[in-house]
Structure 1
Amino acid sequence: MGQDSQFSFSKSRYLPDLTVLEAAMDSFSYDRHAHDEHSFGVTLRGRQDFFSGGEFHRSPPGHVIQFNPGEVHDGCSGGEEPLNYVMVYIHPEHLEPLIANAVGALRARDFRVGETLIHDSVLRHHIQELARLITDQVGSRIEQEFSLYQIAARISQRATQFEQNTVSRRADILLRRARDYIHSHADNDLALEDISKAANLSKYHFLRLFRRQFGITPHQYVMSCRINAARADLDDGTPLDDVTFRYGFADLSHFNRRFKRIYGMTPKQYQQSIRR
């Protein structure tokens, strides 16, 4: 990470699993990874170049970036001007009930936003307002809840089709089984054969399908899941040494390198940032 790159995480005092990232980047580049949460970001300055959904995107100032849970992506500063952006991470358990309420459904399990790069001044305002309430630690619980609902309502308005866990292609179903298996065994010593069996596919056929679908290898996805699980433990105040060895990192140095390439800071810096 260059000396000119800065990252700051803030947790909501009222809403569990709601996190805000403020980032200033120049030379830093994220490894390809995925988050367990819905991610909504706003490019404030410069240009954000990133891969997601099998293609490359460029986000100029004022645009909204959206990643669904489990969606593989990376990111770096594009152009000559340094990049500044804010990102809000919302766990599906907190967003999906609001989506269901906004569209008048009983539930919205596995709701997916169909757009990655969005130009919408209303949505941008709601994201920035929620981020402000959390990072500045101002306002009340109901203000944060209402701000979150406004994001859900706007996303629902933009949705061209509301889906409730509709995955029809066999390959998608099998790969989802594999992904679920990885998530539930993140602290195990996973082998490619174990994961491919969970998907009922031969090892090398599975490897080809997975890489084509997600843009990374199963090993890279396993590492991303382990980093996300480790971050959740850090959120809960678990000691750093315990987290390091729970998820199979050789030592703290190994954990530091992997964590920093996804979150822009070391695990210790992250834990200190959210405890401020």
Structure 2
Amino acid sequence: MIEASRFWRDPALPFVEARRVGDGRQACYGAHSHESFSIGVITGGRSTYRSGGQWCELAAGATVLMNPGVVHACNPIEGEVWSYLMLFVDMPWLRERGFVLPQATHSVSPALYGRLLDVFAGLFDDGREGREAMLAAFFADLPGYLDATPGARQAQHPRLDMAAAFIRAHRLDPLSLEDICAAAGLSRAYLIRAFRQRFGLTPHGYLVDQRVQHARAQLRQGRSIAEVALEAGFADQAHLQRAFKQHLATTPGHYRQG
């Protein structure tokens, strides 16, 4: 039986991380985001998928794509068994190869699904040579698989984007809502209402998500959970544990171990 959840990393490929989930009922997510570009395939069952302001149901054979910072969630339908593979790729590595973030949030292309399964198989084969070249070729070819129709970009809202950027820049500081309002030039009532409509989280929820992402990056480097929790602005290790599990459907300890 496929393991309920396992993270994959390789020191030879420090810019990429993967997750294998054999029973998604044990890995349910709250709304969250990633600092990396994320792409994955549903390999069994069905799930709900929310990305930004869009929502749909997807089944085995579908590919999902999440751009950095986009709030999303993908969970099983009514407790059904479902499984998936996810790939998280650091943006600096992608930018060096001229990668342009796609507009599509999902695809049902069999060709893309099959190609991505081949990529996962190649990554998990520690003895395979040329794995970085394989990844580079995949991302160079990715635009050709995507239909530009699904997941069109949201309309721009400069002041809300400014508020989100301010939160990201100060995510380790003891931010107040007033600080964010002042930086973006928005009233408290408008910021709370409009921010959630645009990003899928309240300003506070977005701040917590950003702190979880910081903790994730630090744990990936092997740092202690207690130290990372305090640095990221959580009251203690237990506080980080609750937020981490809600946002990433795993515990800090399980993630750190890989």
When normalised by structure 2's length, the TM-score is 0.88
Residue 104 (structure 1) aligns with: none
C-alpha contact 1:46 1:79 (8 A) present in aligned 2: no
Residue 209 (structure 1) aligns with: 194
Distance in 2, matches of 1:181 and 1:271, equals: 28
Alignment of 1:191-202 (within 5 A): 191-202=176-187
Structure 1's 185 and 8: CA in aligned 2 closer, same or farther, altered over 3 A?
A: same
1:10 to 8, 32, 42: 8
SS state at 1:33 partner: coil
- Choose 222-231 or 24-33, whichever is displaced more: 24-33
Q: Is 1:218 paired with 2:170?
A: no
Cα-to-partner distance string for 1:66-93 (whole Å, 9 max, x where unaligned): 1111111112112564111000011221
C-alpha contact 2:32 2:71 (8 A) present in aligned 1: yes
Structure 2 unaligned residues grouped into runs of 5+: none
Residue 122 (structure 1) aligns with: 111
Q: Is 1:178 paired with 2:167?
A: no
Which residue identity does 1:264 align to in structure 2? A
- Structure 1 position 244, deviation (Å): 1.1
Q: Is 1:147 paired with 2:147?
A: no
Cα-to-partner distance string for 1:29-76 (whole Å, 9 max, x where unaligned): 200011111110100000121211212111111110111111111121
Q: Is 1:133 paired with 2:122?
A: yes
**Runs of 4+ off more than 6 Å:** none
SS state at 2:179 partner: helix
SS state at 2:14 partner: coil
Aligned length: 252
Structure 1's 256 and 209: CA in aligned 2 closer, same or farther, altered over 3 A?
A: same
Residue 105 (structure 1) aligns with: none
Distance in 2, matches of 1:189 and 1:28, equals: 30
C-alpha contact 2:107 2:147 (8 A) present in aligned 1: no
Which residue identity does 1:149 align to in structure 2? A
C-alpha contact 1:234 1:240 (8 A) present in aligned 2: yes
Provide the aligned C-alpha RMSD in A. Answer: 2.3
Distance in 1, matches of 2:110 and 2:248, equals: 27
Amino-acid identity (%): 28
- Structure 1 position 27, deviation (Å): 5.4
Residue 246 (structure 1) aligns with: 231
Residue 229 (structure 1) aligns with: 214
Distance in 1, matches of 2:132 and 2:76, equals: 32
- Structure 1 position 167, deviation (Å): 9.2
Which residue identity does 2:202 align to in structure 1? T
- Structure 1 position 227, deviation (Å): 0.5
C-alpha contact 1:40 1:89 (8 A) present in aligned 2: yes
1:256 to 234, 241, 245: 241
SS state at 2:31 partner: strand
SS state at 2:30 partner: strand
- Structure 1 position 168, deviation (Å): 7.7
Which residue identity does 2:62 align to in structure 1? H
Residue 50 (structure 2) aligns with: 51
Which residue identity does 2:171 align to in structure 1? A
Residue 103 (structure 1) aligns with: none
Structure 1 unaligned residues grouped into runs of 5+: 101-107
When normalised by structure 1's length, the TM-score is 0.83
Structure 1's 49 and 168: CA in aligned 2 closer, same or farther, altered over 3 A?
A: closer
Cα-to-partner distance string for 1:170-208 (whole Å, 9 max, x where unaligned): x2x222222222222111111112122222222222222
